[in-house]
Amino acid sequence: MSCWFTAPYADGSSWSAVIQRLQGAGLAVTAVQNPLTSLAHDVAHTRRVLALHRAPVIIAGHSFAGTVISQAGTDPRVAGLVYIAARAPMGRGLPALAARFPAPPANAGLVYAAGFDALTEHAFLNDFANGVDPARARVMYAVQGCVSEALFHEKTTAAAWRSEPSWDAVSRQDRTISPDLQRFLARRMHATTIEMDSSHLSMITHPYEVTQLILDAAQAVRS
């Protein structure tokens, strides 16, 4: 059994506490570093990494990476999907879905250059990484990835959660993706769902709960 993680703005190291716990439980773990240039590029990169390993695989995605795993999760090696404060659109871009819910504060904190965007320091520390130790949050801000402006507007052509079992962790204090949007997506997927009193970066602030959800998914797939 293997686990895979993907996320924008915060890189793979944001999963370190969860990775250590999963490794301690005997699971092989890989954190995918996506290029963030297009959905197609992110999905292709995730599939290249998946091709290096045998089934079954649990694939987990945080934030926009929920869109990536929804598309890449159709790979036959994938046996289950775990969404962490994540998007999971189906055949449509995120804005069409998100417009049905109040805009989170982080949306106002984007800066743009040469077709890419990044979060301002204020938005990153207060809206993206709220709840994270401030010293660590400042380091994360310094290494955040730049994201293609087109990335969040691209449409998926597959929804792996329609055929594979799904698990979902909703962050109640999320200031980057509306918690109500997260709940809507979890219900639509018929996902096994937990809620945490967490900010967007729950894998950092609540690593035990996130780890346990992934272990539950792994156990269910084994069964």
How do residues 168-218 score in pLDDT, each as one tens digit? 999 999 999 999 999 999 999 999 999 999 999 999 999 999 999 999 999
- Return the bridge partners of 194, or none: 169
Structure tokens at 30: 């890989």
What CATH number is given to the structural domain containing 175?
3.40.50.1820
Q: pTM of the full predicted structure? A: 0.93
CA–CA distance, 223 with 218 (Å, rounded to integer) = 9
* Tokens 């200031």 found at: 175
Q: What is the tens place of the pLDDT at every residue in 114-151? A: 888 889 999 999 999 999 999 999 999 998 888 888 87
- Return the bridge partners of 112, or none: 117
Domain residues for 138?
2-222
**Phi/psi of residue 169, each to 5°?**
-115, 115
Q: List the beta strands (DSSP E) in the chain.
A: 2-6, 28-31, 57-62, 78-84, 110-113, 116-119, 147-148, 166-171, 192-196
Please state the length of the chain.
223
* Tokens 């077709």 found at: 115
Average of per-residue pLDDT across 44-59: 89
Under DSSP, the state recorded for 52 is T
CB 45 within 8 A of CB 187: no
pLDDT above 80: residue 45: yes
- Domain tally for the chain? 1
> pLDDT grade, residue 3 (50/70/90)?
low
CA–CA distance, 212 with 177 (Å, rounded to integer) = 22
